[in-house]
Every structure is written in structure tokens, then in C-alpha cells.
Structure 1
Amino acid sequence: MSETTQALAAALLLVGCGGGCSIQNIDKPAPYEYESWTKPGMTQLDVKKALLECGKPSPSPNAFIYEKALGIKDSDARLNHQFLTDACMERAGFSIRWGDTVAEYCSWDRHKHLPACQRGAAVPDRSVERRLNSWHCKLETDRDYCRKHAFVPAACDDPKYSNYENPPPECRP
């Protein structure tokens, strides 16, 4: 590989990482989304609950989860949903540790067309009902739902992965 190609690869890698990783921790996975949000006095459990209450399908969604949980395949539709739920988090007093605010992202030319970036966009309010009925919590509390909607339905019957009598704390009322 030429020096130019190596330099370009390194630059792209660093740009792709944003502020969440560096050359020192290049071998570590990217942080979970719930680790990206902070609010004084709030725990990671509080952040997970807030993310689900704002409409995230999971405390750590990715493109595959958006498609599986919400049927969102289009990258613009996924970004729009992310911006709306992130705006909900911001309105609830949370801030992102690395990355930009929704307003900053919406100022970029490539995002200005998204409905979430329009004046008067319908930003969701936090909802406990939305959290308890989220894809994530339904997988963790309803075996039949899990069997129909999980990436690996067999895991729904494996006690190592699912304990329907004791769901994770973010999925409790």
C-alpha cells in the first residue's frame, strides 16, 4: 500500500470514528448508544429508559434493528427517525458525549431535506408506554413476540439469553 493510500485510509478511519474512538483504542468496539448520552445525576439505566421512551427501538440500535423493529430500510428514513428521537433526548435534558446536536446535523446540506429538520417537526415526548412496548422490551418480556421478531428466534427459548420472569430493568414498569 502506498503512503498516500495509507494516509487516506487512516484519515477515513478517523473521520468515521468521530469523537468516540481514537487510534489508541482502534481495536475496541464502538460504544453502545446509551453510553453516548449523559445528563447530570442520571445512570446508564436512566439513559436506556429515556432512549426507549423517546422512540428508539433498542438502547443500542443499528441499521439492522431499525429495519427489523420498525421496517425502516431507507437511510434517510432511518436518519429522520434518529434525529426525532435524539431531539426528544435533547429536550429531556440529555446531551451527546461525542457528535453534534440535532440542530447542528440539520444545518448540513445533506440533511436539510429531512422532515425532522423542518420547522415544527413533530418531536416525540418521552412515554413509558412507548418504552414498555418497544421492540427491545417486547423481545425481553414476550416469548411469542420474540419468536416472531428476533434476529435469532431460537434464542428466545434459551434461558441463557432470555428470562421472561426477570426482564432487564429498562423493561420494567
Structure 2
Amino acid sequence: MGKKILVSFAIFLNGCLGYKPFQPPPSGSEIWKKEGASEAMVTLALLECGSREPRGRVPGLQETETVNDDVLTRLCMEKSGFTSDSQYSAANFCQMLGNKPTACNPGIVPPTRDVSRRLNSQFCKAFPDADVCH
């Protein structure tokens, strides 16, 4: 009987605290914020900064983004005026990495947004009718 009460209490607490175990990490368009920017504008910027899957893991897209690519995308987003929780910043991400990619080196010049990078992205090839691919 005691185990049932304990399990019931754990489930109750779980629901009350809003804890959701086994949730995927947030997508790039959920992480990055900028005053007045819609989710579509964030997705557009992510693609122009080189993100392969700006809306999270998309079935059918081969994930080919390297850690170095990820850092460069973060640097580009920050250079473009977007912010995120500190855990997602390029500096904190580089600090967490044991084997640092080239993009973590001091003095690296962040890439700038590029429309052709967005239009030629794997995402836009897979989803040419997406609003950000025109």
C-alpha cells in the first residue's frame, strides 16, 4: 500500500511542477529571441547563419551539422542581434566542450547572414514550399 501512495505522490508532484521527462531539446527557433522577431524571422536568420535544421530535428533531413558549424551559427545569430538563454550562447557552449572546434578560438570572425545560404540549405531543398524558402 505504501508503494502505491509514493507512486501516486510522485505522479502528482510531476504534474504540479510541470516536469516533462524525456523531452527533446528546444529547436533553434525556440531558443533565439529578438525584439519584434517572429518565429519565422528567427528561422530565416538561422538558415542564413548556416543552421541545417532550424526547427529541430526534421524527419527526412540528414543531420550533417558539425560542432564547429553549430558554434559558427551561434556566433552569427549573436552578431545579428539575437539573444538566447546563456546556456545556448556560443561562449558557454565552447566552454562546455572538451575538444574545442576552430570556431571557439579567440578572435574568430563570426559569419554574416547570407540569403543564398538559406535558399540553398538542406531545409529549403527538402521543404521548398516553406515560408522561409522563398
Task: List runs of 5+ in structure 1 lacking aligned partners.
Answer: 1-21, 73-77, 142-166
For residues 34 and 86 of structure 2, what CA distance do their matches in structure 1 show?
13
CA distance in 2, matches of 1:114, 1:84: 10
Identity in percent: 32
Q: Match of 2:132, as an amino acid?
A: E
Where structure 2 has 5 or more consecutive residues not aligned to the other structure, the ranges are 1-16
Aligned to 1:10: none
In structure 1, how many angstroms separate the alpha carbons of the residues matched to 2:110 and 2:27? Answer: 23
1:83-135 CA distance string (max 9 Å, x none):
01111001101111362421122234614x31011123242210111101100
Q: How big is the alpha-carbon RMSD for the aligned residues of Structure 1 and Structure 2?
A: 2.7
Q: Distance in 1 between matches of 2:85 and 2:50?
A: 20
Q: Pick 1 or 2: higher relative contact order, CA cutoff 8 A, min separation 6.
A: 2
How far apart in 2 are the matches of 1:110 and 1:27?
A: 25
The residue aligned with 2:5 is none
Partner Cα distance (1:83, 1:34) in 2 = 16
**Does 2:39 align with 1:44?**
yes
With structure 2 as the length reference, what TM-score do the two structures score?
Answer: 0.73
Look up the match of 1:102: 90
Measure, in 2, the Cα distance between the counterparts of 1:35 and 1:109: 22
Q: After TM superposition, which residue ranges in structure 1, 4 or more long, deviate above 3 angstroms?
A: 27-30
Judge conservation of contact 2:86–2:92 (CA < 8 Å) in 1: no
Residue of structure 1 aligned with 2:29, choices 34, 38, 43: 34
Distance 1:81 1:65, change over 3 A: farther
1:1-173 map, 5 Å: 24-26=19-21, 28-62=23-57, 68=62, 70=64, 78-97=66-85, 99-108=87-96, 110-111=98-99, 113-141=100-128, 167-172=129-134
Aligned length: 117
Report deviation, 1:27: 6.0
The Cα of 1:69 is off from its aligned counterpart by: 5.6
Partner SS, residue 87 of structure 2: coil
Q: 1: CA distance between counterparts of 2:73 and 2:46?
A: 7
